[in-house]
Structure 1
Amino acid sequence: PLAGNGGYDVSHYDLTLRYDPAARHLDATAVLTARATARLTRFDLDLKGLKVTGVSVDHVKASFRRDGQELVVTPRTALRPGHRFQVAVTYSGTPGPVTDPDGSPDGWIPTDDGAFVAGEPQGAMTWFPANNHPLDKASYDFTLTVPQGHTAVANGVLLGSRTAHGRTTYRWRQSEPMAAYLATATIGKFRVEQFTTRGGIRVYNAVDPREAKAAAPVVRQLPAVLDWESGLFGPYPFRAAGAIVDHAPDVGYALETQTRPLYDSAPDLSTLVHESAHQWFGDSVSLTRWQDIWLNEGFATYAEWLYTEQHGGDSAQQEFDALYARPAGDRLWAFPPGDPGSGENIFDTPVYARGAMTLHELRRTVGDRAFFRILRAWATDHRGGHGTTAQFTALAERISGKDLGTLMRTWLETAGKPAAP
């Protein structure tokens, strides 16, 4: 994806949104707190569609223009390197999704009772101005106003809600750093469940009544799944958790929106395990570049294998063997997961399945003791930050004491089906 801008680093987003589901109309203000990393006579924010009616920088009116998906802001005076500044953008309109290279809808996706808001990889720009690249993580405050009877669910902790004049305003806070694509403001008529786990994690689940019967036996296992994953990957990296189970039959996917994954329908247990594992791998430890997407999807897929292995199902070796048995012409071997090439490939089978196979080959090579130390160290050492394939390889070599260059090149970078292990 081409989104993302240089010259500044955002530390906080304060998003105030008022949405009318019947009219599909949004009125919003976004206030970004950032630091200039270079001298800026102008700077860009990612924002697609929507009408911008005003921009200010440090409370002084700024000029602006639109250039494709960029909002180009020119402050009254240039911003010097190191200067901490605020930019406020007022905007409105009828938000809608973008279509990703693989044909999936992404961003603000209207539903019959609200909106399914899923931003990976580029959809954040459909509903708020952002530096839309995972390198630039920030904290968030959300103030979301919807008609009474609707619920607006964002990331992090619910600070409170208030109903007046037929509308309800929800205030959410995501205090740990988050990439823009992981933000959500999903709206619908949900059944809500709130509780605190024994470990002090505040859980907020929102489930569309049409999905409630199928979702209940899966969603109720979330605390146990998080406990199991914490045992493997280290302490859960956030103070809030939960699930948003919408009824969005045209979407076709789930997303690991930070703290509170978003499902287009009732998930099965494997999907819950997968999206929960992303809280460590993808959300807390974020990508430095989209080319390394296997660090998210391969890890979450391998978490599924481990869960099945440790809960009476097939072993990870059996999963590996079944995949390896596929012929050389199978889609699994279409491209190496460490080099997906075009955007249409970043969520394809090789990234997920061959990415997980790479981790299994690593496990077989270094042994279980070193392998699980590697997973835990990766999640712990890069908590709240970023990582690359090169950094992961270096960590694995340091912990295992082995040269892993050939293994990683073979499974991540080499086209075609690798030779039999």
Structure 2
Amino acid sequence: EAHLAKAGQALQEIPRFTFQKGETQFSFATVALDKSAIFDSLEILKKHVENVRIHTFEPGYIVFQDLGKNLYEAGNRNMPLYGIKFKFVSITNNTRVEVTRKGNLTQDELQACIQLFRLFHPEERQNDPSARLARLGIQVFRAGSEESAGTPSAADAGLEIGRNSVSMFNRKYRLAGYKRTKQEVLESIILPLRHPEVYAGVARATRGEGSNMPRAVLFDGPPGVGKTTMARIIAGETGLPLVYVSVENILSKYYGESAQNLAGIFDAAAAYDRAILFLDEIDSLATSRESGLFEATRRVLSVLLRKIDGFDTRDGILTIGATNRSTDLDHALLSRFDSVIHFPLPEAKERASIFKSYAHHLSIEELSDLARASKGISGRTIQDICEYTERRWARMLIADQKSPCAPPGYLYVEITQEMAARTPSESM
């Protein structure tokens, strides 16, 4: 089936030339029409077509037309008769480029058609969807690549694969605590992706058919508790590319473009045989329809639901959504997720472990004091506290003309109390 699907995609990419009723038509399908591709197309047209103007500019339907020189009749000076039109159409699952002209194409117009096809179907883009995602401003992290340098493995993060429970401490990557969360990630995501044949065998032995592989998972928790770090751990441990999508990559001030951006990202990610698509701050895209939505937001939600459903039919593509407001998410979207994994704020022992990972010199008593003083604070804020303490201590050493040494425990406590006083609990 995979070979047939790829063959069908290749057939769709073959451009078509037709001549009917005195009109030449050239068309080809493409995966997506993002904003940058439209601008690149316009650059091509300016090189090969004499006088290009915008004929139509609507969401999902953009037309450029050549005015030429002698294109107006004496009796009707408002309508070009024979100017070639370049149409860029993106409607539902029908995304294509069409070129139409009365009569035959000129040599320059033919070159424009060829260059447009090459723009949307370059050889390197077919082989590596990362190139296309990069054009959309999307980061792709791969295990072993420079972008993923520092990505923790499951063992580094305290995920022990075996019969033992999950470790409570990660010295190198500081994803301390979260024992239950780590165990759930291990059983529900990492092991199924690493050993799909075992999980498929269990499903056959119990149900006879169907799949128990994860397809869509929601990470729920306040900011700074390790949701993004955990996604990178999963990618590093499974060897799958991690397609990281932030809200800035999707939202646009132009009507209809946000939905188009989202569709383009999903379509590009689908070109991977296996991958993880991480949607950060998904609540910004899909709030509950009960609270009332603008039409543009409805379009984004509709695309998101449709694309996640499409990924549900494929093995090897995992969608992870991250939110700190799961109660605000649309109910239809929540139902698309196989499971919701909660990332709570760290408890006292976990906070002490995080402080220890950034300040090895502190005593057990000092770590206990810090754990009490940092109630309601996330791991990321603890990192900020430790780094700020180092900077303040360095300033004090410079002022007193002393040699570098580690900050004392009381200074960590003072700055933690300062931070807690001016920052409300991150669980709110």
* TM bracket (short chain): under 0.3
Larger Rg: 2
**Which has the larger strand fraction?**
1
Q: Normalization by structure 1: what TM-score? A: 0.24
Q: Which has the higher contact order (CA 8 A, sep 6+)?
A: 2
**Which has the larger helix fraction?**
2
